[in-house]
Amino acid sequence: MWSGNLKTALASLRSAKWRSLLTMLGIIIGVSSVVTVVSLGEGLKQQVVGQIHTLGSDVLTVRPGKLVSDGSARQSLNLLAFLSTSTLSEQDVLTVSKLPQVSTAVPINFVTNSAAGGEQQLDNVSVLGTDAQLNDLLRPKMDSGAFFTPENANDDVAVIGSTIAAHLYNGSNPLGHPISILGRDFIIHGVLAPSAGGLVTIQQSDLNSTVFLPFGPAKNLVDNRTNISQILIKAKPGVNPDTAVAEIRKVLLQNRGGSEDFSVLKQQQLLELTGKVVNKATGFVTGLAAVALLVGGIGVMDIMLVSVSERTREIGIRKAIGATNRQILSQFLTEGLVVTIGGGFIGILVSLMIFGFLRLYTGLEPVINVSVMILAVSVSIAVGIVFSVVPALKAARKHPIDALRG
Amino acid sequence: MALIELREVSKLFGFGEATTLALDEADLTVEKGEFLAIMGPSGCGKTTLMNIIGLLDRPTHGIYLIDGKDASRLRPNRQAKLRRDRIGFVFQFYNLLPRLNVLNNVALPLAYRGMTPVRRLKRASDMLELVGLRDREYFFPKQLSGGQIQRAAIARALINNPSIIIADEPTGNLDSHDSKVLMELLADIHRQGNTILMVTHNPELTRYASRVIYMRDGTIVEDESTSIGAVAKGALRTYLRKRKTTEEDVLAGVSALLKDVPGKAMAKGPKKRLPKKIFKKRSRRRARRKVRH
């Protein structure tokens, strides 16, 4: 019976191709937006996990802005903190590095997002000013050359990621060649090996498209102004990270006369915070997608009602030759389900295509999430059932003789 | 026990002033193996009677028994199953599903019985062989002639081996050759012991029937057993009825029925009072009487 229903449903959808496609569109938009957004969020989370992986879990981070507002019973994420100007200074780095619990403190100074070299101009890179000690923290694998050392602190040298190397000096070894940042040439000192990790800065970045400059020359580039997006801190071995966090917080508070516009985070907290941001954004867009699905569902119901009244005579004939109400009901339910499940699958395909474009043209790395796809398909099944039931019932309850006359 | 038994079955349509009485306390008993032809003018209730016997419609009053069991008060799903297993329909307008090919159309009742596709298609194919359409199995209804479609419809009606076959003017849309082929087919089916109820306007077709009933205004006015092969006497009467209108009347648009009605109707002019309305008024009066009872 089910295979018969499926055949009938497909035949009836084929007979009105455009109508079926437009009906599916609402479902397609809803499903593809949910899958895309959730996968993007998942990608963001994984980037953070990647950073933790790169840095090791004992590294602490100081970030500008108070990300977690407490005082209320429940801690909540303060999104305004992301908009505030960084007040982290070189002085802060110095103070923190002098603490007995701290072995290294490295500033990450976000300079710009464009770089040029050879004949190429790149504008989706992270140019970061930092100290040579970052090498101890990151321990990055080098493809060629080496990370700059404390002796290079005042030299115009740069360490570049593998993607940049590939773009600027396609194939040839870029070592010793210049890379131009804001009009000044830096000599390429080392090239990082391709890696999955990244540093979560203002802009989401991966190490492959990052340029590291020594802190001093980087600062000189922008009139000695700094924009420290984070301070990476490695605690001494054996120090309880919570004690270290408390001490760092104390000295930073002293530096700014007691006003707290920074956050000291353990890696785990960073992950949780990113999770919170992602969940907020995901929740919002999921809400929008739910509206799209609702509208799509109403579209399905509308078309099904039209289909039922168009096929009144067919229903009459089927009843005359012995179809029960339940059999007619399941026939029309199947038809609605074919539309919505089809829409769900096409929606997933569309979101996979969107992922392709995002990977090609932006730095975003969506992570394909199977559970989200399963959810999307089951939601489209639910929409199909909910919005086809009324038309299908209408069809099933038609009086055979009235239907035959219709 | 009679196969079909109707006791004082009435059917009313509409409400209040607009009520019409389509069937007026009709009594009918049909035994297994009969070929019953039902004749009468348009609007006399033939189709309503067929719809009630075919369980497509419910009587307003009265009882309808199949094999001695009340079938008219069953729940819709029970009726659907009874239709599926015991009744086969042949309609004037064929009523095959245009999107299915002939084979699938014929096999459809078996699908509703839950038979597997292989078995039901095999059986449908055999049935099409019986009506001489084996070579048209994969054609769609619109690719066939009226006679072929109607034969396919008969195959569909027979596929569940029903005890009652209801044919509502099966030759209404066929030319004389196709009509003959179709009627021979029905006669064959009758000879195999099936019960057939057929509505017709064509007196010639009473040759195939073993019994003819005549209806007027919702009641059965005459019930006649005939020998197969001869046109029924009652049918012959309508066949040979003397024309009451002259050629001039026809040109003036006056029908024989209008000439029967008292002069008052004529005085008001033929166009305002159509014969159908007169019938309706009469049946309305009857309906009112019924309601009062």
Q: Are residues B223 and B279 part of one domain?
A: no
Q: Are residues B164 and B54 part of one domain?
A: yes
Closest CA to B66 of B165, B192, B157, B164: B164
Q: Do A319 and B80 touch (CB under 8 A)?
A: yes
Partner-chain residue, chosen from A12, A321, A325, that has the shortest CB–CB distance to B109: A321
Contact residues, chain A, for B51 at CB < 8 Å: 401
Residue B117, classed as helix, strand or coil, is: helix
Mean pLDDT of chain A: 82
* pLDDT average, residue stretch B8-35: 90
Domain that holds residue B102: 4-241
- Local structure of residue B4 (DSSP, 8 states): E
Q: Give yes or no for residue A73 having a pLDDT over 70.
A: no
pLDDT tens, position by position, A145-164: 888 888 888 888 999 988 88
User: Searching chain B, which residue's CA lies closest to the CA of residue A401?
Assistant: B56
Q: What is the CA radius of gyration of chain B?
A: 21
Among B31-40, B53-62, B170-179, the least confident range: B170-179
* pLDDT, position A203: 41
Mutate to test the interface with A, among B99, B104, B115 (most CBs of A within 10 A): B99
Q: Do A325 and B97 touch (CB under 8 A)?
A: no
Q: Are residues B151 and B55 part of one domain?
A: yes
> pLDDT grade, residue B272 (50/70/90)?
very low
* pLDDT, position B198: 93
* pLDDT, position B271: 47
Q: Are residues B187 and B74 part of one domain?
A: yes
> pLDDT grade, residue B267 (50/70/90)?
very low
Mutate to test the interface with B, among A1, A307, A317, A321 (most CBs of B within 10 A): A321
Q: Do B81 and A324 touch (CB under 8 A)?
A: yes
| A140 vs B49, higher pLDDT | B49
Q: Are residues B268 and B206 part of one domain?
A: no
Q: Are residues B224 and B282 part of one domain?
A: no
| A240 vs B28, higher pLDDT | B28
Q: Are residues B212 and B77 part of one domain?
A: yes
Partner-chain residue, chosen from A1, A11, A399, that has the shortest CB–CB distance to B114: A1
Angle at B90 between CA B86 and CA B94, to 5 degrees: 140
pLDDT tens, position by position, B224-234: 888 887 788 77
* Beta bridge partner(s), residue A126: A210
Of all residues in chain A, the percent with pLDDT exceeding 70 is 91
* pLDDT, position B172: 84
Q: Give yes or no for residue A242 having a pLDDT over 50.
A: yes
Closest CA to A126 of A45, A35, A235, A207: A207
Q: Are residues B146 and B168 part of one domain?
A: yes
Q: Give yes or no for residue B277 having a pLDDT over 70.
A: no
* pLDDT average, residue stretch B241-261: 61
* pLDDT, position B165: 93
Domain boundary among B215, B241, B267: B241
Among A76-80, A106-110, A210-214, A242-246, the least confident range: A76-80
Contact residues, chain A, for B76 at CB < 8 Å: 324-325
Among A45-49, A231-235, B37-41, B201-205, the least confident range: A45-49
Contact residues, chain A, for B77 at CB < 8 Å: 324-326
* pLDDT, position A265: 81
* pLDDT average, residue stretch A296-307: 89
SS (H, E, C) B52-89: HHCCCCCCCEEEEEECCEECCCCCHHHHHHHHHHHEEE
User: Searching chain B, which residue's CA lies closest to the CA of residue A3?
Assistant: B117
Between strands B164-168 and B87-90, the pairing is parallel
ipTM: 0.78
Contact A63, A78 (CB under 8 A): no
* pLDDT, position B260: 57
Q: Are residues B252 and B232 part of one domain?
A: no
Contact residues, chain B, for A404 at CB < 8 Å: 56, 91, 95
Q: How many domains does chain B have?
A: 2
Contact residues, chain B, for A327 at CB < 8 Å: 112
* pLDDT average, residue stretch B115-139: 91
Q: Give yes or no for residue B273 having a pLDDT over 50.
A: no
Q: Give yes or no for residue A76 having a pLDDT over 60.
A: no
Q: Do A322 and B85 touch (CB under 8 A)?
A: yes
Q: Give yes or no for residue B197 having a pLDDT over 90.
A: yes
> pLDDT grade, residue B35 (50/70/90)?
very high
Q: Are residues B269 and B124 part of one domain?
A: no
Residue B121, classed as helix, strand or coil, is: helix
pTM above 0.95, yes or no: no
Between strands B211-216 and B35-39, the pairing is parallel
Separation between Cα atoms, residue A383 and residue A375, nearest integer Å: 12
B20-30 β-sheet, strand order: B20-30, B4-13, B61-66, B69-70
> pLDDT grade, residue A81 (50/70/90)?
low
**Identity at A99, one-letter amino acid code:** L
Mutate to test the interface with A, among B60, B72, B108 (most CBs of A within 10 A): B108
Contact A383, A300 (CB under 8 A): yes
* pLDDT average, residue stretch A182-203: 74
> pLDDT grade, residue B269 (50/70/90)?
very low
Residues of A with CB under 8 A from a CB of B: 1, 3-4, 8, 11-12, 15, 313-314, 316-327, 399-401, 404
* pLDDT, position B132: 87
Q: Are residues B200 and B109 part of one domain?
A: yes
- Local structure of residue B180 (DSSP, 8 states): H
* pLDDT average, residue stretch A99-111: 87
* pLDDT, position B268: 44
Q: Are residues B179 and B70 part of one domain?
A: yes
Q: Give yes or no for residue A342 having a pLDDT over 80.
A: yes
Contact residues, chain B, for A314 at CB < 8 Å: 97
**CATH number, residue B103:** 3.40.50.300
Alpha-carbon distances, residue B19 vs A144, A320, B40 (angstroms)? 98, 26, 21
Contact residues for B181 (Cβ-Cβ < 8 A; gap 6+): B147, B151
* pLDDT average, residue stretch A299-319: 91
pLDDT tens, position by position, B211-221: 999 998 889 98
* pLDDT average, residue stretch A115-136: 84
Among A61-75, A313-327, B87-101, the least confident range: A61-75
Contact residues for A58 (Cβ-Cβ < 8 A; gap 6+): A234, A235, A241, A267
Closest CA to A190 of A142, A153, A151: A142
